[in-house]
Amino acid sequence: MPVTIQNNTSRPVMIRLNSGQTCYLSGRDSLGKILDAEVRDNDRIARLTARGTITCKVIKTKAKPAAKAKVKKTRPRKDK
């Protein structure tokens, strides 16, 4: 599930994700739709969350209904 990270301070915050990508959040800014694998077991994000510097929120998305399978109808064969 995607995650949104929000900066709760008025100062810029640097966040390094698990993939190695670095995100810079300006004051009161937020990052949207980050995969939860980027945030899970990340010490830096855990420390910033414990201090109240950032907030991580899970974005709940509705599951799309599966597409209906197309079935081709055939006539029964007549044996000669």
Domain boundaries, the chain: 2-58
Instruction: State the pLDDT confidence band at 68, using cuts at 50, 70 and 90.
Output: confident
Residue 17 has pLDDT above 70, yes or no: yes
Sequential DSSP letters for the chain: -EEEEEE-SSS-EEEE-TTS-EEEE-TT-EEEEEEHHHHTT-HHHHHHHHHTSEEEEEPP-PPPPPPPPP----PPPPP-
Mean pLDDT along residues 52-79? 80
Beta bridge mates, 17: none
pLDDT at 21: 94
**Confidence label for 53 from pLDDT (cuts 50, 70 and 90):** very high
